[in-house]
Amino acid sequence: MIKPPKNVLELPLHVRAEMALRAAAERAREEHIRWDLPLHVWRDGKVIEIPVEELRRELAERKAQQENPE
């Protein structure tokens, strides 16, 4: 999970709201992985199912990117 900056309360409200939304989405993905459940999202005007395997792969990619930012 991405840590908020120390000056988070100084940021505009819309920036803080986006940060909170992204954190909530990340937690939802982690919960679906933990419970081995697919995630259903709205994409391109349709509800699609994201399999747990894909969620795990995306999480691993995000963690690797956070550890080695380029």
The beta strands (E) that lie in the chain are given as 39-43, 46-50
Q: How far apart are CA 18 and CA 33, in angstroms?
A: 23
Encoded amino acid at 69, one letter: P
- Mean pLDDT, 10 residues at a time, the chain of 70 residues: 82 94 93 97 97 95 83
What's the rounded Cα separation, in Å, for the pair 62 and 7? 24
* Tokens matching residue 69: 């930012």
Domain ranges across the chain: 37-70
pTM, full prediction: 0.77
